[in-house]
Structure 1
Amino acid sequence: MDGRVLQERTLLLTHLRTYLEAPEHAHFLDDQLEGHQPGARQAAVLLVLFEHEGELSLLFIRRASTLRAHSGEIAFPGGSAESQDASPVETALREAWEEIGLAPERVEILGAMPPVFTVVSNFLIVPVVGYLHQGPGELRLQESEVAELIVAPLRALTDPAIQRVEHWTRGEKTRTVYFFDYGTYCIWGATGRILAALLSILDTHDAGSSL
């Protein structure tokens, strides 16, 4: 990475550290659209940024088709909180290690985003954002849960041509549903909403070519 690009990456990471919530505050955040959800089940996902083929990229998984819930969908590594997890960060790192073999020590935690409440499954999902200075290393998939890894350049994900929104009504409440048609994959649901929120944060940084 040349000096100019390295400086741009440093500025972008500094912006994210400043804009994101401190990880220790993640337990106290509410869904900005759905409000306080004290009865929700707790979960966390890990959004990992890293350099791939000269592009700042984001890692997704395609869930195994044999799963009972959300089979075949595109997601971030992550899952339900367990009793031994002291924080959403620990949940996200543990799940990423179990699902794809991403070593926790490779991840610099930049911060947390406001959680996303899933109305149907009653989960409150905290997105934890990290950066891999040395890349992801050698990964191994938990094949019972993960069918495929997907590395997507942020530049491609910001293309308006692949983005669309729909408005779905459940009960008396209408919600915005975000879709990203990335290649043959459709990113939507909670993952689409989290991705849209991350891209909105990045939009507040005049990164120029840093993506």
Structure 2
Amino acid sequence: MSERPDGLPGWWEPLLTRARSARTEDFTTLRAPASGGRAASVLVLLGEDRPGEPDLLVLQRAATMRNHAGQPAFPGGAADPEDRDAAATALREANEEVGLDPASATVLTTLPELYIPVSRFVVTPVLAWWHAPHPVHSREPAEVAHVARLPVAELVDPANRIRVRHPSGWVSPAFQVRGMLVWGFTAGVISALLDMARWARPWEPGPLVNLPDAPVTVPDTSDEVVS
């Protein structure tokens, strides 16, 4: 991992410094089990379409999937035995899911391991700079229905921030951005990083929005290319 690569945009501070010293408690109160969890990684990839305007790469799971149907997420997945480390897992998965060229992303740091009880994954978010953005698209339409670059300016807009309640009763911060409802693990990580970067703006939580029991509808955009 590079300490501070040449050309890194100024907006990475104070996010990068604070992320490098982050603790699990900065993201969740849940603790990973001493054993039995399955290792996984996600790629938290920040780039910019225009100078000084950072954005975040996300995908939306296909509505037909058994787990996480229709849910926006970071690229990522379970570790393979051949993966050198968490960063290798995240970059491999991003390549397989959306065609990301691993050489286009500079890994800056890894965040603390975070536990997802429903899947028993112990997830390492990998924070990276998309120094050479290029067109990406769904490479596995049966798994990935939609790919998007979400501008940070829209994520921090108070009008786009809500709280949602899962049918289990679990409450999560959420974002309504570009036709997607980003919630759960992904929204929690985004919310914490926005605070660390001091990008977050005051917002009124308002009434809780109940998540539907049925899978979320996703657009039929398997042929789209995001650049």
**Shorter-chain TM-score: which interval?**
0.7 to 0.9
Partner residue in 2 for 1:56: 54
The AA in structure 1 aligned to 2:49 is H
5+ long unaligned stretches in structure 1: 1-6, 206-211
Q: Give the conservation status (yes or no) of the 8 Å contact 1:116–1:194.
A: no
Q: Does 1:42 align with 2:39?
A: yes
What do residues 139-166 of structure 1 show as CA deviations (whole Å, max 9, x unaligned)?
A: 2422222111111100110112221235
* Kept after mapping to 1: 8 A contact 2:13/2:197: no
- The structure-2 alpha-carbon separation of the partners of 1:105 and 1:160, relative to structure 1 and needing over 3 Å to count, comes to same
Match of 1:208 in 2: none
Q: Is the Cα contact below 8 Å between 2:112 and 2:125 reproduced in 1?
A: yes
Q: Which residue of 2 aligns with 1:92?
A: 90
SS in 2 for 1:203: coil
Say yes or no: does 1:15 pair with 2:11: no
Q: As a proportion of its length, which structure holds more helix?
A: 1
Whole-angstrom distance in 2 between the partners of 1:129 and 1:199: 13
The one-letter code matched in structure 1 to 2:17 is T
5 Å-filtered alignment, 1:19-38, equals: 19-21=18-20, 32-38=28-34
Q: Alignment partner for residue 196 of structure 2, among 193, 201, 208?
A: 201
Match of 1:81 in 2: 79
Q: Percent identity among equivalent residues?
A: 32
Please report how far the alpha carbon of residue 122 of structure 1 lies from its aligned counterpart in structure 2 after TM superposition.
1.1
In the superposition, the TM-score normalised over structure 1's length comes to 0.79
Note the C-alpha offset of 1:57.
0.7
Q: 1:75-129: per-residue Cα shift (whole Å, max 9, x none)?
A: 1100111111121111101100110111111111111222332121111211111
Contact 1:16 1:110 in 2 (8 A): no
Pair 1:167–1:62, CA change in 2 (3 A)? closer
Matched positions, count: 190
Cα contact 1:13–1:110 (8 A) shared by 2: no
Determine the C-alpha separation between the residues in 2 that align with 1:199 and 1:175: 21
Q: After TM superposition, which residue ranges in structure 1, 4 or more long, deviate above 4 angstroms? A: 28-32, 166-170
Q: 1:19 and 1:77 mapped to 2: Cα distance? A: 23
AA at the equivalent of 1:201: M
Q: CA RMSD in A?
A: 2.7
2:189 partner SS: helix
Q: Which runs of 5+ in 2 are unaligned?
A: 1-6, 201-227
> What is the one-letter code of the residue matched to 2:153?
R
The 1:87–1:29 alpha-carbon spacing in structure 2 relative to 1, beyond 3 Å, is farther
